[in-house]
Structure 1
Amino acid sequence: MSAVEMPRFEGAREVEPLLEITGLRVTYGRIAAVDGVDIKIEPGRIVSLVGSNGAGKTTTLAALSGLLPLAGGSIRFAGEDITGLAAELRVGRGIAHVPERRRVFAGMSVRENLLLGGYIRDDKADIERDIEALTELFPILGKRMRQLAGTLSGGEQQMLAIARGLMSRPSLLVMDEPTMGLAPQMIDVVLDSIQEIRNRGTTVLLVEQNAVEAIRLSDHVYVMRLGRIVHEDVGSRIDPERVKAFYMGIEA
């Protein structure tokens, strides 16, 4: 998790995307939950997917991670077509998913949760170094290593869920509502950690209900409504008030 140089534009040529989703469709019976979504993410960026409840954001992340079957479209990651790849193999390719509502292993210790996050690795010395590095990112976890994950506060569980995802050394960390249900002071800690994770070299795809904070963090923002992308732009050019209008379908 050492720092890497941020990708830059060279003339008119764009950096090769780390992730390219094209025409993504996911259905529940006859209902299209996601319908023709295109997303492109360059390495070293924070990209947010925002929208109202039911817009299809979580479904999009689940499909990307291989947790839901596609009804159409394709997914390319690091130059490889992973559309038909099983979820566990996507982890090995470099995609880690931090799910909504944290979902830590409550009956296991903090350390055991972290070790499970690195289950695809067999480099024990490097695993220990990564655990140490993650306790620098989240110092409270270093004090809770033997504590059962289910006894942690909500904010501490979220830190653990993020750290567990990073244990696989992903190129892309997919995060679903990381600040949901957290106290205001913990929200700031989690959002700051997302910036630091990017600074250490991991690309982030973020779903976040708090659109204002997501826009503030992000290099690029996609706005979803009713399973479709209705707007996208560089984060610094996104107007949160206009985003709210898209939520309501006023400018869709």
Structure 2
Amino acid sequence: MTHSGPIIHPTGLIERPVEPLLKVSGLSVSYGRIRAVDAVDLAVEPGRIVSLVGSNGAGKTTTLMALSGLLPLAAGRIVFAGEDITGLAPELRVSHGIAHVPERRRVFAGMSVRENLALGAYSRGDATEIAGDIERLTQLFPILGKRMHQAAGTLSGGEQQMLAIARGLMSRPQLLIMDEPTMGLAPQMIDLILDTVLEIRKLGTTVLLVEQNAIEAMRLSDHVYIMRLGRIVHEDSGANIDTERVKAFYMGVDA
């Protein structure tokens, strides 16, 4: 959680509060007369993994799509890296440093792995650096290096998810938004993808994560927001989050 003032350590040194990379205030999204997301406030500090968890229909994916500019806001404000991006088009949010890995992967099935990766860098013009980034991503995802000229649609589900994540990283984002990255994957692939989330953070990219495996998501997160019926109903650090309270919220019980 963002601190409101300086912290004075016993040594006498003053630690200044960290400004959020992403700060969302009063975010609301409507589908016709239905308010799907209502007055959501959240903050994501740089270099952190922040998870948004909740049962199906809680409004998590809608929130992520609104942050990426894929859905209009009914109300609210989005500030990224100190700049108000509330009215910014989705492609401009990418160039500002936000990448979105959507649920169900959505790779371009008829295009090769390399072509999919190149599309992730569409906002960049540095061909040499793009080629270098593709090479570096094959170190993070070695299997993609072996599939570079293969059609994305012929990859396994786990390989397609790796490709979707790598494609998002090709824009060199400050913030990577990931929506249900382990959906429909085998258990061993789930572990691999979640380990990759930690590696991405180690490489310097901040992560905002929606994940169906809530307990695993909370385990690797620095901060957790719990969402129910379009609202944030609880938040805490990943280390302090009460899993029993989370289960109660999932069951629709106020904890």
Distance in 1 of aligned mates of 2:16 and 2:227:
27
- Partner SS for 2:239: helix
Distance in 2 of aligned mates of 1:103 and 1:235:
29
Hey, what does 1:71 align to over in structure 2? 74
Deviations 1:3-46 (A, max 9, x none): xxxxxx85464201100000000000111000000010100000
Task: Choose the corresponding residue for 1:22, options 20, 25, 31.
Answer: 25
Distance in 1 of aligned mates of 2:25 and 2:251:
25
Hey, what does 1:235 align to over in structure 2? 238
Calculate the TM-score normalised by the size of structure 1.
0.95
Matches within 5 A, 1:124-143: 124-143=127-146
Hey, what does 1:160 align to over in structure 2? 163
- Contact 1:26–1:34 (8 Å) recurs in 2: yes
Residue 248 of structure 1 deviates from its aligned partner by 2.3
Hey, what does 1:172 align to over in structure 2? 175
Hey, what does 1:120 align to over in structure 2? 123
What 5-or-longer segments of structure 2 have no aligned partner? 1-5, 9-14
Hey, what does 1:104 align to over in structure 2? 107
Residue 249 of structure 1 deviates from its aligned partner by 2.8
Q: For residue 108 of structure 2, what is the amino acid of its counterpart?
A: F
Hey, what does 2:45 align to over in structure 1? 42
Hey, what does 2:90 align to over in structure 1? 87
Q: For residue 165 of structure 1, what is the amino acid of its counterpart?
A: G
How many residue pairs were aligned? 244
Hey, what does 2:216 align to over in structure 1? 213
Q: For residue 89 of structure 1, what is the amino acid of its counterpart?
A: L
Distance in 2 of aligned mates of 1:236 and 1:251:
21
Distance in 2 of aligned mates of 1:198 and 1:101:
22
- Contact 1:211–1:240 (8 Å) recurs in 2: no
Distance in 2 of aligned mates of 1:10 and 1:41:
19
Distance in 2 of aligned mates of 1:180 and 1:49:
15
Deviations 1:76-120 (A, max 9, x none): 000000000000000000000000000000000000000000011
Matches within 5 A, 1:187-202: 187-202=190-205
Residue 250 of structure 1 deviates from its aligned partner by 1.6
